[in-house]
Amino acid sequence: MMQLNETHDPALRSWLASANTGSTDFPIQNLPVGVFRRAGSNEPFRGGVALGDQILDLAAAARADVFQGLAGQATQAGADSTLNALMALGHSVWSAWRLALSRALREGADAEAALKPCLVPQQDAEFAVPARIGDYTDFYTSVHHATNIGRQFRPDNPLLPNYKWVPIGYHGRASSIGVSGQQFHRPLGQTLAPGSSTPVLAPSKRLDIELELGVFIGSGNALGEPIAITEAEDHVFGLCLLNDWSARDLQAWEYQPLGPFLAKNFATTISPWIVTLEALAPFKVAFERPQDDPQPLPYLDSAANRDAGAYDVQLEVLIQTPQMRQAGQPAQSLVQTSYRHAYWTLAQLVAHHTVNGCNLQPGDLLGTGTLSGPTLDQAGALIELTEGGKRPLTLANGETRSYLEDGDTVLLRGRCARAGAARIGFGECAGTVLPARPVR
């Protein structure tokens, strides 16, 4: 389990002034990692660390030879075009590297002169998916989301009996995962109109969002060797924001008996920055489950998981319609909630995913599933907020939305804040819906 150390000290300040504002997502206590290059250039993509409004170019830092030992090894691995090699190094190397970065970026550090030329303004950068994602598994960890959705289809039995015993998940599509700024065409698929006996191929009319976190696996496990819950967090490199776009009308027709298919595989958008699990250590909270609910089986339970297995990541969904954009109006907030409300912890997800011997690999991505809170105004999907489209949302400019329309941009934001800790953030995860391609 991740422990507090000197890198979390809220009094730390950087020699980079923009990291010390108190409002930046990226103070020196954060140091998230992504993959970037200068926008519009032919430069190779390489790893970088966000600090204030800048990016520490890891390829440049490796050439500057500032970091030695394990930290030097990690810097060199992070200079690659994907972060898989860095992720594979394991928790002890990541922790040593984070400490070296923190010390080199603090006020008064001798490394300032060597590292200042390695900075690239974030506003000048473009980003790529930070890892080569071999496999993507999406879970269903919010009991509130599962209940809200189940109530629409099974009013008398909204929650299936297995939900409180086992973390539910399905294997998604890795090839269509894109980084923030992703634009995609409204998906086509089969739908069955009420009262009809024959489906038609048509663009989705019920395009939705799903507010999630992405969990990037670091060091994996050998085939046949489960990861114990007490070791699970050591195998997680970090978290990002994730929007699992969903075509609800396609989903309703296709999901039985084998689950989501075309309703989910057309696009998934993640934020460019991965906040390491160690950076999130100050925001761990007790994992609470109602006493009347079934308690986790032994392989999904530990004292550490009960005491501090949840993370208080505060999450927000915003929308900017074409009309708002044309009028110069900012995106409007729709939802605010927290990851602490999840019914299953990320350690439980890793332990369950591997209990049958499944081997996870560096760069694999797990989705938490929609992170709805306990009240409907904390719901992380439009299908919940609008009760299946029956109660459209009225936006501040008078527009209404039951589901997404062409040209809509959805933004996810995440941050962590509490007394006695530095505020850290995840940046932004943005995606835009384009009109459907013609049906052929």
SS (H, E, C) the chain: CCCCCHHHCCCCCECCHHHHCCCCCCCCCCCCEEEEEECCCCCCCEEEEEECCEEEEHHHHHHHCCCCHHHHHHHHHHCCCCCHHHHHCCHHHHHHHHHHHHHHHECCCCCHHHHHHHEEEHHHEEEECCCCCCCEEEECCCHHHHHHHHHHHCCCCCCCCCCCCCCCEEECCCCCEEECCEEEECCEEEECCCCCCCCEEEECCCEECCEEEEEEECCCCCCCCCCCCCCHHHHEEEEEEEECCEEHHHHHHHCCCCCCCCCCCCCEEECCCEEECHHHHHHEECCCCCCCCCCCCHHHCCHHHHHHCEECCEEEEEEECHHHHHCCCCCEEEEEEEHHHCCCCHHHHHHHHHCCCCCCCCCCEEECCCCCCCCHHHCCCHHHHCCCCCCCEECCCCCEECCCCCCCEEEEEEEECCCCCCCEEEEEEEEEEECCCCCC
Which candidate in 91, 145, 235, 352 is catalytic? 145
145 is catalytic: yes
Q: Which residues are catalytic?
A: 145
